[in-house]
Chain A
Amino acid sequence: MGYHCVVCVKQVPDTKGITGEAMRDDGTVNRAALPAIFNPEDLNALEMALAIRDGHGGTVTVVTMGLPKASDVLRESLFRGADRAVLITDRRAAGSDTLATSYILACAVRRLEADIVLCGRQAIDGDTAQVGPQLAEKLSFTLVTYLEQLLELRNRTLRARRNLGHGWEIVETELPVLATVLDSANTPRPPAARRVMKFKKARCRSEVEQAIGRELAAASDDERAAESARRCSALAGRGLLIEQWNLDDIGADLAWCGFKGSPTKVHRVQSIVLAGGAYREYPASDPGVAQLVRELIEDHTIG
């Protein structure tokens, strides 16, 4: 019969290698200069969904929320084997904290009628690990965090191993389930060359409109709208139109979305400044090292 797996993914700035070009002269990080990547643990969630489909049948739908540019991670998901991709994009969603984000995702996932929702354990930009559990609560799905190994999936019952860091657990529960997946769960499959050839042309409506805006700068609004409709329908005919939903499409109550729907507000942001550290340098020689050790012994740091 198969299962419908929905994978929630996020495009994030690559915070791993913050050096060189991403650093400003004053020693702070220029976030805009960081490359945008597929959140690493979301790839593990996608792989788990693809493995479930390969083993049991069903479909894999990938959902992301963000700017039209976030379609990059949807295309990447299609390259790796996802069946369907949905972009939730809406200016009114800007400023959403984890509570508002999970509300918006819940509105979208409800329309998809998922059996299993998979998320990466956490995203590397915020490291909060909150959206998964909050989405589970909103959907009334059973939450399984820190999923490391799917042991069995049969008759809508799932048995899995959770890695808690200081131990593990084997849990069993009936679907529907929302699980957050660890990077130790699997090795994500690479993009398939044939699928890359096909889906590299996949676009969402906003991306089509942006391209038209560039190419037909002199055209009237009506002409552009007509061209957009034509191109979108051509893409859809070839299975290359990434579905694009706004907050009205998913029936979201605006009071719970965006800045207004977010209880947490930023009070202040301080950049960490890297430069300016004054340290005492010792030569890498025997006398240099001995001098250092002597000082550490004298001030009772060691010994």
Chain B
Amino acid sequence: MIEVNRRGEVWVFAEQEGGALAEVSLELLGKGRELADTLGVPLGAVLLTVADGETTATRLGQYGADRIYLVEHDLLRHYQTAAYARAVCELVTAWSPQVVLYGATALGRDLAPTVASALRCGLTADCTDLQIGDHTPPGSKELQKNLLLQIRPAFGGSIIATIVNYDRWPQMATVREGVMVMPQPDGRRRAMLVRHAAAFDGFRPPLAILESERRPKKVNLKAARVIVAGGAGVGDKASFRLIWELANCLGGAVGASRAAIDLGFVDKDHQVGQTGTTVRPALYIACGISGAVQHRAGMEESAKILAINTDPSAPIFAVAHYGIVGDLRVVIPKLIRAVRSGAKAEELGEPLAPPAAEAGGAGG
């Protein structure tokens, strides 16, 4: 635990593997830059690696970091909870940052709670937004100014909670991948390199990694302009082929709700939602997805949402911009034909006139 330190920096843990930085760390530099500017303090990045950290450090500077806290050590070759947590705790204790942010990745969700426990400070998991704001503790008149507002869904996404910690610092949070906007790198930007020699004397890693394999995700949902997603309402794996066909025809990617994955329609890499990927494509087509809060949390920021569902009271219609109440097995082939023909009226019959009525409250 460190003292409340109003001049403390904003830090981002820069997750990397073999020199390749995690995208979420770069996204966090964008958000971190904004927070640091609001607070009027520098933005730091923590980089732990085995050697040759300068190249990665340069990149972190281009994405917005002012200072790179670099620790190079043999024990940091592969991620290990104990060694990494030890190095981060040392840095935090030495420099007293006021905010430390981590990506809510497999690594970040392992490291951050370990660091929080060791430092006895607060940690909010899986934030979807961060702001700077004031807080008055209940039963107190003292206004706590310029705290990190840590905003996250809870109870399966049915509520949005804003969390603060004002008395035991640093203020730490993990942030979901894909929710912060990736900043534009500036090739001329330079950061100051702060080398730190971590005290690993006598430290024996408690765990041996005997084998490991990294599997690139089969689908890059975050980069897709169009996502066609299927849910339990698709019915069976054979019908899920329709989702693939529509996605192919639109040059889009295939997404799925948790229910569709649990039913074995498609691989887990395709999952959109609170425990899957958060996406914000130009167009999101939800087919046979009822729209559980967990799913909506991962897609409601999409620019345009089209919902296709037989149940007009399905919650998905509450976040949709366009809706078709009908059986996706009927609707999707029609959509495919319309897209292939460029929606030419002569091939498809008369255009609708007048335009479809605005639907009122979606109900449900």
Contacts and interface: CB of A to CB of B under 8 A. Distances in A.
Interface of A: 13, 15-19, 23, 27-29, 31, 97-99, 102, 124-138, 142-146, 159, 164-174, 256, 262-272, 274-294, 296-297, 301-303
Given A274-B318, A281-B325, A294-B351, A169 B212 contact: yes
A170 B163 CA distance: 36
A148 B317 CA distance: 37
A170 B212 contact: yes
A168 B213 CA distance: 5
Contacts of B154: 125-127
Q: 5 tightest CB-CB pairs across the interface, nearest first?
A: A284-B326, A15-B156, A263-B122, A277-B318, A29-B158
A278 B318 CA distance: 7
Given A99-B121, A132-B113, A281-B324, 9 more contacts: A15-B157, A125-B156, A159-B210, A263-B165, A264-B123, A272-B293, A279-B317, A290-B345, A297-B343
B158 A292 contact: no
A117 to B, nearest CB: 14
User: What is the predominant secondary structure among interface residues of chain A facing chain B?
Assistant: mixed
Contacts of A283: 324, 326, 352, 356
Nearest to A299: B304
A302 B113 contact: no
A115 to B, nearest CB: 15
Q: How large is the interface on B (under 10, 10 to 19, 20 to 34, 35 or more residues)?
A: 35 or more
Interface in B135-190: 135, 137, 149-150, 153-168
A287 B352 contact: yes
Contacts of A138: 117
B326 A268 contact: no
B114 interface: yes
Contact of A293 (B156, B168, B338): B338
B356 A264 contact: no
A177 to B, nearest CB: 9
A295 to B, nearest CB: 8
Given A99-B123, A134-B113, A280 B323 contact: yes
Nearest to A133: B113
Contacts of B364: 19, 23, 274-275
A166 B324 contact: no
Contact of B117 (A99, A124, A302): A99
B342 interface: yes
A107 B276 CA distance: 34
A275 B362 contact: yes
A293 B135 contact: no
B49 interface: no
A291 B356 contact: yes
Contact of A29 (B118, B125, B159): B159
A99 B304 contact: no
Nearest to A126: B154
A286 B283 contact: no
B241 interface: no
Contacts of B85: 137
A281 B290 CA distance: 16
B275 interface: yes
B156 A292 contact: no
